[in-house]
Amino acid sequence: MCGIVGYVGRRELAQDVILDGLRRLEYRGYDSAGIAVLEDGKLRVVRAIGKLRNLESSLRDLPVHGAAGIGHTRWATHGQPSEENAHPHRAGSVAIIHNGIVENYRKLRDGLRERGSEFSSDTDTEIIAHLIDEQRRAGCSLVEAVRNATGQLEGSYAIVVLDETEPGELVAAKDGGSPCIVSANEEAGFVASDIPAILPHTRRMVPLEDGDVARVAPDTLEIWDRAGARIERQPRDIKWDPVQAERGGYDRFMQKEIYEQPRAISDTIGTRALEDEGDIDLDGIEFDPDWVRRLKGVHLVGMGTARHACLIGATMIEQHARVPAIADLSSEYRYRDPVVDSDYLVIPVSQSGETTDTLQALREAAGRGALSLGIVNAPDSSIARDVDHVLYTHAGLEIGVASTKCFTAQIAALDLVALKLGLLRGTLTREQVRAAIIELRRVPRLVEQTLGLWDEIGEIASRYVHAGNFLFLGRGVGCTVALEGALKLKEISYIHAEGYAAGEMKHGPIALIDENMPVVVVANRSNTYSKVLANAAEVRARQGVVIAIAEQGDEEIDSVANEVIRVPAISDPLSSIVMSIPLQIFAYHIATLKGTDVDQPRNLAKSVTVE
C-alpha cells in the first residue's frame, strides 16, 4: 500500500523529482515518509513520521543534492509508524524502499542475526536490505544481489535499491502482485509504484511482471525474468494527463472527483453503447455465444466500494441476462473453495487494479478455469494484465481515498456488460437493449442535476454533524446505496455508520432507534417502495430522525421524513448511481464540517496491496 519512487538522472534533481512523485502518491499511505539520495558519493537518508509535509519541512532546512535517489511514503504493516520504521532502510552500502509484506521475515531475521546482522527497525523491509548487503559483500553485482536476496522472500514486494558503490543505477524487483513501473529516457531512469508519480517526466512506462528484476539508468532499461533470462517487456504509452492529478480549483480531490462524475460515466459509456444497432461493443471483446448461453454463473469480486458496485452489477446481470450472479468480497471468495469452473465468468472490479484480495480471488477463479473480465480503472495495473479481457472505466485518476467517480463509472460499465450478456443469451432483444441504452445515456445528465444540490445537502448535513451514529436503510439496489452511503460517511468523517437492508431493521437494528439516531432512508420508487415507506414510518414512530433520499415528484415521502433530498427519477438499477450522489455529498459536508482529512482519512490507503 506504500508509495515508492526512484530517480537516477544526469542532473542533480533527485530530491525534487522524488518529492513531487511522493506528493502524487501520498494517497497510498501517510504514516511516514523518507528519502535516500547519493550526495557526494555517500548515501544520505532523511525520514519523518507522519505526512509528507513533515519530510518536506526537514528537507527545506537541509536539502539533499544528488542525481540518484529513492523515496517512500508508508502505510505501516510491520512495526508502528515511527521514524525508525520509516523507509528507506539501510544495510552497508545499500538503501532500499519496499511496498508489500515479507511473510517469512522472522525466519530470515533470525538467520541474519545469527550471521551477525544488527537491526535498527521492526520492519520486514530492513531484512531485505541486509540480505542484499550480504550478497554484495559476497561479491555479487547489484542485480545478482537483488535476485539472490529476493529469491529468499515469501510474500509480496516491489523494491527499489540504491547502492553507494553503484551510483549510476537503481535496481528494482517485484513479486506477489505489488505493482512496480520502470521507465528510462535519455535524461533519467525512473521507478514507481504508480503511474502518477512519474507522469510529469515520462509517458512511456514498463510495468514489471512478478519475478522480474530491472536495472534502470539514463538511457538504460534492462529486465530479467524469474529464471534470470534477459527479456524485453513491452512499454505502454500512458494517455493520462498530469493535470488530472491536480485539484483544479476544488478544495479537495474528493470534491473534484464527485463533480467529475458526469464525465466519468459518459466516458465509460463512450462509443460502447450502440443505440442505433441496439448493441453493445465491449471494446471488441468477443465472447463465444455458445459459452455465454451455457453459462452457469457470474461471480463478481471486489472490496469496499468496488464490492458495492459488484452487488449492483450482480443485480443487473441477473435482471438482463437471467443467469445466477453473486457479488462476493474478494477476501472471502478466495478462501471459501468457490464452486466455479470453465462455465463461469468471473468479474473482478477494482479502481486501482492492485487490490491484493481481488487479484488473488481472480487467480483462484481463473485457476479453476473461469473466464475473466476485469472492470478496472488504472491502466496496465496487475488485475488489468491478469484478466482474459479488460473493460476499463474511463474515470481518470482518482486520488481521494474515498472512491466516488470510480464507483458510479463501475456501475455504468457493469450495465454494459449485463446488456451484452443479455443480448448474447437471447434474454434481451435489440429493441430492449436500445431502450436500455437510452436510459443509461440519461444518467450523466441526471447526475449533473443532482450535483446542483451541493449547498442544500450542506445545510442538511450541518444539522447532523454532531450525531455519533447513523443508520442507512434501503431495499434492492437502494440497500446497496445505503451500504455505500454508510461506508462513505464512516471512512471520511469517522462517525459510526451502518448500512442495512430496510427489511432487516425489525430483526435487530430497530433497538438502536431513538431521537439521537439519524436514519438515512434510500427511497427509490421500485417495487419495494411502499415497504421502504413503512420502514421509515417505523423509525419515526420511535422518535428516530429520517433523512430521505427520494425522487423528484415524490410527495408521499414527506409524511415519514424529517428531511427530504430529491433527485431526478430514473428506473432501477440505474437509480443506484443517481441516489448515491447525495450520500457522497452528505458525507463530504459532514467530514469537512468536522475538519477531518477528507482526501487522506486516518488509517486508510488508496490501494490495499496487503491482505
Show which residues are catalytic. Answer: 2, 606
DSSP class of 123: -
User: In the complex with ligand M6R, which residue's Cβ is closer, 424 or 583?
Assistant: 583
Among 428, 608, 609, 610, binds ligand M6R (CB under 6 A): 608
Q: Is 144 helix (H, G, I), strand (E, B) or coil?
A: helix
Torsional sign, CA 254, 260, 265, 269: negative
Q: What are phi and psi of 261, to 5 degrees?
A: -65, -40
User: In the complex with ligand M6R, which residue's Cβ is closer, 169 or 491?
Assistant: 491
Q: Which residues of 547-575 are buried (b: 16+ CB within 10 A; e: fewer)?
A: bbbbbeebeebeebbbbbbbbbebebbbb
User: In the complex with ligand M6R, which residue's Cβ is closer, 402 or 501?
Assistant: 402
In Å, how far from its chain's centre is CA 47?
A: 26
Torsional sign, CA 371, 225, 131, 84: negative
In the complex, least distance from residue 189 CB atom to ligand M6R, rounded to whole angstroms: 27
C-alpha grid cell, residue 260: 467529475
In the complex, least distance from residue 132 CB atom to ligand M6R, rounded to whole angstroms: 30
Among 85, 268, 350, 528, binds ligand M6R (CB under 6 A): 350
In the complex, least distance from residue 411 CB atom to ligand M6R, rounded to whole angstroms: 13
Cβ-proximal residues to 56 (8 Å cutoff; 6+ apart), any chain: 19
User: In the complex with ligand M6R, which residue's Cβ is closer, 358 or 528?
Assistant: 358
99 binds ligand M6R (CB under 6 A): no
Measured between alpha carbons, how far is 328 from 1 in angstroms, rounded to an integer?
22
360 binds ligand M6R (CB under 6 A): no
Q: What are phi and psi of 433, to 5 degrees?
A: -65, -40
Q: What is the DSSP string of 421-445?
A: HHHHHTSS-HHHHHHHHHHHHHHHH
User: In the complex with ligand M6R, which residue's Cβ is closer, 1 or 269?
Assistant: 1
Cβ-proximal residues to 284 (8 Å cutoff; 6+ apart), any chain: none
Q: How, if at all, do strands 469-474 and 518-523 pair? A: parallel
Q: Alpha carbon of 358 to those of 284, 398, 611: distances in Å?
A: 24, 18, 10
User: In the complex with ligand M6R, which residue's Cβ is closer, 330 or 524?
Assistant: 330
Which parts of 467-496 interact with ligand M6R (CB under 6 A)?
491
Among 352, 408, 480, 524, binds ligand M6R (CB under 6 A): 352
402 binds ligand M6R (CB under 6 A): yes
Measured between alpha carbons, how far is 422 from 418 in angstroms, rounded to an integer?
6
255 binds ligand M6R (CB under 6 A): no
Measured between alpha carbons, how far is 591 from 450 in angstroms, rounded to an integer?
20
Among 351, 493, 580, 584, binds ligand M6R (CB under 6 A): 351
In the complex, least distance from residue 243 CB atom to ligand M6R, rounded to whole angstroms: 22
C-alpha grid cell, residue 374: 476485469
User: In the complex with ligand M6R, which residue's Cβ is closer, 188 or 522?
Assistant: 522
381 binds ligand M6R (CB under 6 A): no
Q: Which residues of 497-535 are buried (b: 16+ CB within 10 A; e: fewer)?
A: bbbbbbeebeeebbeebeeebbbbbbbbbbebbeebbeb
In the complex, least distance from residue 351 CB atom to ligand M6R, rounded to whole angstroms: 3
C-alpha grid cell, residue 286: 468477443
User: In the complex with ligand M6R, which residue's Cβ is closer, 303 or 447?
Assistant: 303
DSSP class of 35: E
In the complex, least distance from residue 105 CB atom to ligand M6R, rounded to whole angstroms: 24
Q: Which stretch binds ligand M6R (CB under 6 A): 158-166, 264-272, 318-326, 395-403?
A: 395-403
**Is there a contact between 96 and 87 (Cβ–Cβ < 8 Å)?**
yes
User: In the complex with ligand M6R, which residue's Cβ is closer, 142 or 195?
Assistant: 195
Among 117, 261, 355, 450, binds ligand M6R (CB under 6 A): 355
591 binds ligand M6R (CB under 6 A): no
Q: Alpha carbon of 24 to those of 32, 140, 568: distances in Å?
A: 15, 35, 36
**Is there a contact between 88 and 36 (Cβ–Cβ < 8 Å)?**
yes
In the complex, least distance from residue 596 CB atom to ligand M6R, rounded to whole angstroms: 14
Q: Which stretch binds ligand M6R (CB under 6 A): 195-203, 400-408, 443-451, 563-571?
A: 400-408
Torsion angle, alpha carbons of 132, 133, 134, 138, to 10: 100
In the complex, least distance from residue 486 CB atom to ligand M6R, rounded to whole angstroms: 11
**Is there a contact between 194 and 179 (Cβ–Cβ < 8 Å)?**
yes
In Å, how far from its chain's centre is CA 533?
A: 35
Give the residue at shortest CB distance from ligand M6R.
Answer: 304
581 binds ligand M6R (CB under 6 A): no
Torsion angle, alpha carbons of 107, 110, 111, 113, to 10: 160
Which parts of 429-468 interact with ligand M6R (CB under 6 A)?
none
In the complex, least distance from residue 256 CB atom to ligand M6R, rounded to whole angstroms: 15
Q: What is the residue type of 223?
A: I
**Residues touching ligand M6R: how many (CB under 6 A)?**
16
Among 73, 360, 607, 609, binds ligand M6R (CB under 6 A): 607
In the complex, least distance from residue 470 CB atom to ligand M6R, rounded to whole angstroms: 16
For residue 222, the cross-strand partners are 215
Which parts of 292-331 interact with ligand M6R (CB under 6 A)?
303-306
Q: Is 608 helix (H, G, I), strand (E, B) or coil?
A: coil
Cβ-proximal residues to 490 (8 Å cutoff; 6+ apart), any chain: 496, 497
Of residues 460, 418, 453, the one with CA closest to residue 547? 460
In the complex, least distance from residue 517 CB atom to ligand M6R, rounded to whole angstroms: 24
356 binds ligand M6R (CB under 6 A): no
User: In the complex with ligand M6R, which residue's Cβ is closer, 156 or 351?
Assistant: 351
Q: Which stretch binds ligand M6R (CB under 6 A): 189-197, 226-234, 350-358, 572-580?
A: 350-358
399 binds ligand M6R (CB under 6 A): no
In the complex, least distance from residue 4 CB atom to ligand M6R, rounded to whole angstroms: 17
Binding track over 69-88 against ligand M6R, x by CB under 6 A? --------------------
User: In the complex with ligand M6R, which residue's Cβ is closer, 64 or 378?
Assistant: 378
Among 150, 193, 403, 528, binds ligand M6R (CB under 6 A): 403
User: In the complex with ligand M6R, which residue's Cβ is closer, 202 or 305?
Assistant: 305
Binding site for ligand M6R (CB under 6 A): 303-306, 350-352, 355, 358, 401-403, 491, 604, 607-608
